[in-house]
Structure 1
Amino acid sequence: MAAAHSLPAYSFRIRLLLATLLCWFGTISASLAQPDGPVVRTRQGKVQGSQQGSLWVFQGIPYARPPVGPLRFRPPQPAARWQGVKSTRLFGSKSLQGSADATQGQEDCLYLNVWTPAPTRQRRPVVVWVHGGAFTGGSGQENDTWTFAAQDTVVAVSFNYRLGSLGFLELDSQLGPQYAQAGNCGLLDAVAALRWVRQNIAAFGGDPNRVTVMGESAGAKLVGALLVTPAAQGLFQQVILESGAVQAIRDTATAAAVTRQLLQYLHLSDARALLTLPADSLIRAQSRFASGAGGLQVFGPVLDGKTIPQPPLTYLKTSRPVRVLMGTNRNEAELFTGPGSVIAQPSEAALQQVFGARNSPYVWRAYQQTSQNQPALVAWNAVLTDYLYRLASYRLALTLAEKSPPVWLYRFDYADAVTRPIHAQELAFVWNAPMGTSAAATTTAAAGPWRGKASNPTLAALMHRHWAQFIKTGQPGVGWPAYTTSRREVMLFDTNSRAEPLPAPYQDPTFPMQGYVR
């Protein structure tokens, strides 16, 4: 009798064990080898990727509905569900971009990519890459963030977001409150991508509670905007900002002036025409006044009072703290001052294109003072570096340190016959990609100053190790002290990398935090 009574309880325990195992295997279904590639179930449906070297790669996963037709200039909407298995072995279209003569990409661009080692029961840290490109170019496929997945067992993600006039065009002043968030569509795309990560990354072996958002240039500036966007809070725990802070956030007057300029170039008197105008026409028109060095700061998120409710440094003084690793390169501006550039030579008029009429006098005055003690072009590049990048980064670091969250500051100083510490040059060192030796490397090939193998393997290994340590543990590791109000030290990456008191922390208290003001 006793054995008969115990049979139902024993059977229940067997069923419970089987259900637990089925649930676990369902979550990491990618680990069940498929003849055509691994399969993972997301909230929208199943996706099938490919195996590339040691990684499982999923490319072109839709994280929001296509922002076309009535969704143009509107916040992203959740992606539709699908039946069956969706093939995700090719990158999704990049955001529409180009020049006055030609365009590339499509409006239908809201796709992301995942690189992951084989999922296990233990959740891995996640790094989400945000690409740069002056808010008018680039895509999520132009990166080597996969190296953290291949070398450090981290789950890596990248995504596209709307660019230029399709992603950051202020329309509240033209079309009313239903388009109040049009100037932040690209920023809201980033929020939607991070929300997708929060909801789905566990199925790829990632830990949704250990997410690092990492960006460079405009990507870093977009990450900076995420820091002051309430809708993004809780979707990540730490950030990496390379050559960017919160200086791209524009006031509504500046953003509205850019909109009027676009309408003038399109010969439109009624902004409602923008809702149905061919997207190629928008991109060609914006390229006439927002390309090259002159367009570096024209587009960006908008302080609209809703998506971004407060000036960034004000908001950060009371917001929830996150861990921050950030820095700049010693000679950032030299990438933009080559022959043919609008800022190739010192010019007060050229500064108006880069900084706006209200900000340019500060920069010109600083150049005149600096050029008294340095050769003209040396002073010109130093001042441009300070006002484009370093000043904003130091202000953000100090604001964060005053609130006492962990902040680590760096500067990339390394130079040799191949490498100069100009804008974007640190990326090859941070990624430390063995170009040409990994199958995954072929998926990310693109042109750029940072492409290829770093010229100093020892320094690249060191920098990659610090970044990976931060992504995995929340601290960059031994030898890199936190930047605090009482100990303002910076990690200098050079032939002899070391932590030192912050060298020449440029300050100009009269210069606005906003880099471009009309």
Structure 2
Amino acid sequence: MRKSHSSIFVGRLVMLHIVLAFMTIVPGALTATDPAVTTTHGPIVGFQDSGIQVFKNIPYGADTSTTRFKAPKPPNPWTEPKHCTKYGPIAPQPGSDKESSGHKGSEDCLNLNVWTPASDNNTRPVLVYFHGGGYDSGTVNEDTYDGRRLAQKRDVVVVTVSHRINGLGYMYLGGISKDYETGNPGQLDLILALKWVRDNIERFGGDKNSVTIFGQSGGGAKCATLMAMPEAKGLFHRVWTMSGQQITGRTLEHAKQTAQEVLSKIEGESDAEKLEQLVNMPMAELQTTLAGGGQRWAPVTSTSSLPKDPFFPTANEQSRNIPMVIGNTYGETRNLIGGSKGRLFNLTWDQVPSQLEKSVKNFIGNLSGETIVSEYRKHYPSYSPSDVFFAATTAARSWKSMLVESDIRAKHPDSPLWVYYLRWKTPFEDGRMGAAHGFDIPLVFANPDAFRQMRGFESAEVMAETVSKALVHFARTGTPKIEGSDMYWPRYELGERLSMIFDLPASEIHSDDRGWERRFFASIPYTQPGT
């Protein structure tokens, strides 16, 4: 018997409701508005977020469990659309094997994330971010690093990258087997990611000839290291670093010694046998083996991947012409040393000298705590004991490396360099944290509300506008400038040492900012931590 037109209509309507319901409740279900891109390795599907196309967990490299401690390989190609809607695994690190950590670690961690206003052209500047945490830990899977607002407000393409860290990324085993003599697999991961950007970013609306790498703390140091890696040449065109320098790398001797310390924890007849165990060791056991012993991972020089130190004795030749911005904050150690240690924010004058010597003993040479406190009280009579402590530890521990790197680069007139300092203090906890280490991250990403210490403060939004505009103007033109402002940001040169001071109610240019502090600590030789 033939069905009536009405019954056919009802049947189709029911089926439509079923399909719509399925699309609503099934995670990753494809919709007509989901952006789709075919990369060099296969098709991917992202999602829309407030008008921005977002793609998360795009593979740029293969699972590194098959190349542990070695250079990465490109991912295996795929043909079915890969749903790139959630962050991928982070690099293995202490605690990442626990579900409660919120970020599951895996050796299949070579993934990146892309935010783009549209894939309609290939003219937008590209900003590629490398996370901090030294070379030991870290992830980009945090709200602070979400690139949506930066892409939306500044019409740029934002990329954040996950890569191998700690011993998996920076242990040198070339002294045991030639199979590992290239060294620095974690840095080679970043180079592979930049090659992916070169080969694919035009499909996301980005300009492959306008790539700016930027990073904070360890991320900034990774940027500086890339500037000296031959295989990275031509893959990026501008560099913006925040509180992260890499003047020298680890020597081969030091790196081989660390490898022996790790192997000494493994039972075996020979180093080759121990290495075989290390390569095949379960991850939880491996993390325990790599931890402890005072290891501080860092790139290794005198290797084919990193033949020379990045900034010693001179700025590396291959990157001298690349425009660079180097930044630092006024209160780095309020976070690095202070952190949750409330007592350091309530020191007495009697406590400061000994606490200084304890906290930065490797950075003050033969200077006594009493001498340092006396000089700071003379120049900053209104400072409290804790103010003096954090100012002095910042100058000796964190600012010193920035000055060394900046001055080495400034010796080359053909090396475009600009310097900034973040002086603006977040009102959080009545300004106690000041301008601490890492506080410029939410500002460059235009994400102050994603950062607990800035959330809800109008001044943080204003400061984020200023800093993110300067970053994007640099990415777009090769010179930093606060868009919408008439202020000229001059290059940093030896002599005047002109620098941008990011602050409210207005930013300003200073000549030889805190010059007496620079001169006071100048006589102390600098040694790169971890090298």
Tell me if 1:279 matches 2:280: no
Distance 2:43 2:83 in 1: 9
Pairs within 5 Å for 1:460-475? 460-475=464-479
DSSP 3-state at the match of 1:112: strand
- Per the alignment, residue 244 of structure 1 pairs with 244
DSSP 3-state at the match of 1:328: strand
What do the CA deviations read for 1:466-492 (whole angstroms, capped 9, x no partner)?
A: 112112221222432111235410111
Cα deviation, residue 284, structure 1: 3.0
DSSP 3-state at the match of 1:210: strand
Match of 2:416 among 406, 415, 418: 406
CA separation of 1:475 and 1:47: change in aligned 2, threshold 3 A? same
DSSP 3-state at the match of 1:280: helix
What do the CA deviations read for 1:283-340 (whole angstroms, capped 9, x no partner)?
A: 23444356xxxx7xx1121113311111222462522420111110011112122377
**What amino acid maps onto 1:141 in structure 2?**
N
Match of 1:371 among 362, 370, 373: 373
- Per the alignment, residue 489 of structure 1 pairs with 498
Contact 1:100 1:285 in 2 (8 A): no
CA separation of 1:454 and 1:286: change in aligned 2, threshold 3 A? farther
- Per the alignment, residue 25 of structure 1 pairs with none
- Per the alignment, residue 19 of structure 2 pairs with none
- Per the alignment, residue 529 of structure 2 pairs with 515
- Per the alignment, residue 388 of structure 1 pairs with 397
What do the CA deviations read for 1:7-66 (whole angstroms, capped 9, x no partner)?
A: xxxxxxxxxxxxxxxxxxxxxxxxxx9626111111111111111111111111110111
DSSP 3-state at the match of 2:137: coil
Match of 2:511 among 485, 501, 505: 501
Distance 1:473 1:339 in 2: 37
Task: Give me the identity figure in percent.
Answer: 27
- Per the alignment, residue 63 of structure 1 pairs with 60
**What amino acid maps onto 2:398 in structure 1?**
Y
What do the CA deviations read for 1:113-151 (whole angstroms, capped 9, x no partner)?
A: 110011223521100011111222221222133322111
CA separation of 1:39 and 1:380: change in aligned 2, threshold 3 A? same
Pairs within 5 Å for 1:158-177? 158-173=160-175, 175-177=176-178
Distance 2:260 2:370 in 1: 33
Aligned length: 459
- Per the alignment, residue 38 of structure 2 pairs with 41
- Per the alignment, residue 3 of structure 2 pairs with none
- Per the alignment, residue 336 of structure 1 pairs with 336
Tell me if 1:149 matches 2:136: no
CA separation of 1:99 and 1:312: change in aligned 2, threshold 3 A? same
- Per the alignment, residue 114 of structure 2 pairs with 114
Distance 1:427 1:364 in 2: 34
My pick for the range that moved more, 224-233 or 300-309, is 300-309
Tell me if 1:310 matches 2:324: no
CA separation of 1:457 and 1:286: change in aligned 2, threshold 3 A? same
DSSP 3-state at the match of 2:318: coil
Contact 2:448 2:454 in 1 (8 A): no
Cα deviation, residue 207, structure 1: 0.3
TM-score normalised to the size of structure 2?
0.79
My pick for the range that moved more, 321-330 or 98-107, is 98-107
Distance 1:487 1:453 in 2: 35
**What amino acid maps onto 2:72 in structure 1?**
P
**What amino acid maps onto 2:446 in structure 1?**
N
**What amino acid maps onto 2:257 in structure 1?**
A
What do the CA deviations read for 1:168-210 (whole angstroms, capped 9, x no partner)?
A: 112122x22221134x111111111001001110011100000
**What amino acid maps onto 1:277 in structure 2?**
M
CA separation of 1:68 and 1:498: change in aligned 2, threshold 3 A? same
Pairs within 5 Å for 1:211-290? 211-247=211-247, 249-264=249-264, 270=271, 271-272=274-275, 273-289=277-293
**What amino acid maps onto 1:488 in structure 2?**
R
- Per the alignment, residue 84 of structure 1 pairs with 80
- Per the alignment, residue 89 of structure 2 pairs with 93
- Per the alignment, residue 17 of structure 2 pairs with none
The higher radius of gyration belongs to: 2
My pick for the range that moved more, 504-513 or 456-465, is 504-513
- Per the alignment, residue 319 of structure 1 pairs with 318
TM-score normalised to the size of structure 1?
0.81
Distance 1:380 1:240 in 2: 28
My pick for the range that moved more, 415-424 or 310-319, is 310-319
- Per the alignment, residue 131 of structure 2 pairs with 131
DSSP 3-state at the match of 1:158: strand
My pick for the range that moved more, 376-385 or 397-406, is 376-385
Contact 1:164 1:299 in 2 (8 A): yes
Contact 2:330 2:421 in 1 (8 A): yes
My pick for the range that moved more, 221-230 or 266-275, is 266-275
Tell me if 1:181 matches 2:179: no
Unaligned stretches of 5+ residues in structure 1: 1-32, 353-359, 436-444
Cα deviation, residue 417, structure 1: 3.0
Distance 1:88 1:42 in 2: 12
CA separation of 1:482 and 1:430: change in aligned 2, threshold 3 A? same
